[in-house]
Amino acid sequence: MRQPDIEIYVKDADQSAITDWLTNTLGPCSEWRQQGQTRKCTINIEGASIPVTWLPKAVGSWNSLLLESDATPWDNDLACAKAASTALGIEVRCAPGGWEEQQGEEDADRWLKVLTTGEVEEITWRTH
pLDDT per residue as tens digits for the range 65-86: 999 999 999 999 999 999 999 9
Work out the average pLDDT over 88-103. 79
**What band does 47 get if pLDDT is binned at 50, 70 and 90?**
confident
* Residue 44: predicted pLDDT: 92
Distance CA 87, CA 18 (A): 10
In this structure, are residues 90 and 39 in contact, taking their beta carbons and an 8 Å threshold?
Answer: no
Average pLDDT of the chain, as a whole number: 89
Q: Which amino acid is at 98?
A: G
- Which residues lie closer than 8 Å to 127 by C-beta, 6 or more apart? 59, 108, 109
* All structural domains of the chain: 6-124 (3.30.310)
- Mean pLDDT to the nearest integer, 16-38: 94
Res 103 pLDDT > 70 = no
Decide: residue 15, CB within 10 A, 0-12 exposed, 13-18 middle, 19+ buried.
middle
For Cα atoms 112, 118, 122, give the angle at the middle one, nearest 5 degrees.
Answer: 20
Burial class (CB in 10 A: 0-12, 13-18, 19+), 77: buried
